[in-house]
Amino acid sequence: MNEFDEWIGFERRASDVISPRLADHFRVTLDDVLPDGPDLPGIQWCLAPDACAPADLGRDGHPKTGMFLPKLPLPRRMWASGELLISGGFQVGDAVTRTSTISDIRFKKGRSGDLGFVTVDHRYEVGGEARISERQMIVYRDDPAPDAPAPVPPQAERWETVHAQEIETNPTLLFRYSALTFNGHRIHYDHPYATDVEGYAGLVVHGPLQATWMQNVATRVLGRAPRSFSYRGLSPLICGGKAIVEAREGENGLEIRVRNGEENFVTMQATAT
């Protein structure tokens, strides 16, 4: 037990409708990553975003902790990993209800210091029928020490790919995805904040955007929506240059990853079945 266990079970609901405008903006932002068809893989992360008054925003531009997410004693928040069970897709006109429940809070020490992990279960329903169940993990961490060297990710191993696609990352792409998701996190648009406060080498490409790329590649390669999709962040993808989204056949399903094209390290990986 810890002082934050009272948050476990905390639940909230939000609803949204997939409008033609939202679908069009999603398609042009994803450009040629989306496969053909009416479904919009990954649009669930654009639905019913948090909308708070400026007084309710934290220093990072996200809603303050202590509202839905607990206020852990660590200032930085980011996506860590997630698992999706997919029983249906989303299309224009769908009225989607998302129920989000905090299911676990844990602390541990990592190589970079103290870490807090909050697990949130999301259930996306249309007409009372579950389309996606997601277990998402959010990691909290401390600010980097000013003199701490930046970690150097390992070089990516060579893959025999069944699909590979290059995506140009630039501030316009980050702006458009932030607008789609009403994501005010300053690491995606405020260069001094991203580098001086959070210690990144530049603006950071959104974790949900990378996961969306991979979910769409999985749909394209499998020829259908995956039944399960699990993702995990490994390293920040810094804006500028090319990202490579690629897939290969693995022992436990299709393996997908996002690789930094210039420095050749993996920023996010996934498995789909």
Residue 62: both structure tokens together: 């996200």
Q: What pLDDT score was predicted for residue 242?
A: 95
pLDDT at 54 over 80: yes
The residue that leads in pLDDT, 1 or 223, is 223
Sign of CA dihedral 198, 201, 205, 207: negative
Is 70 exceeded by the pLDDT of residue 1? no
Write out the residue range of the structural domain in which residue 211 sits. Answer: 5-272
pLDDT digits (tens, 9 = 90+) for 224-252: 999 999 999 999 999 998 999 999 999 98
Task: Specify the number of domains making up the chain.
Answer: 1
**Is 201's pLDDT higher than 70?**
yes
**Is residue 139 a contact partner of residue 117, using CB atoms and an 8 Å limit?**
yes
Q: How confident is the model at residue 149 (pLDDT cuts 50, 70, 90)?
A: confident
**Whole-number mean pLDDT of the chain?**
93
**Model pLDDT for residues 28-46, shown as the tens digit of each residue:** 999 889 988 889 999 999 9
Average pLDDT over residues 97-112: 90
CATH number, domain containing residue 159: 3.10.129.10
Q: Which amino acid is at 215?
A: Q
Q: In terms of C-beta density within 10 A (0-12 exposed, 13-18 middle, 19 or more buried), how is residue 21 classed?
A: exposed
Digit-coded pLDDT (tens) for 115-148: 999 999 999 999 999 999 999 999 999 888 777 7
- The pLDDT of residue 36: 86
Which tokens belong to 33?
């990553």
Task: Let me know if 268 is exposed, middle or buried by CB neighbors in 10 A (0-12, 13-18, 19+).
Answer: buried
pLDDT tens for 184-199 read 999 999 999 999 999 9
Strands 253-260 and 266-272, how do they pair? antiparallel
Whole-model pTM: value is: 0.94
- Cα distance between residue 237 and residue 174, in whole Å: 12
Q: Read off the pLDDT band of 259 (50, 70, 90).
A: very high
What are the residue ranges of helices labelled H in 153-257? 171-181, 191-192, 207-222
Maximum C-alpha span of the chain = 53
**Model pLDDT, residue 109:** 85
Specify the pLDDT at position 28: 95
Triad 243, 186, 24: Cα angle to 5°: 60
| pLDDT of amino acid 221 | 96
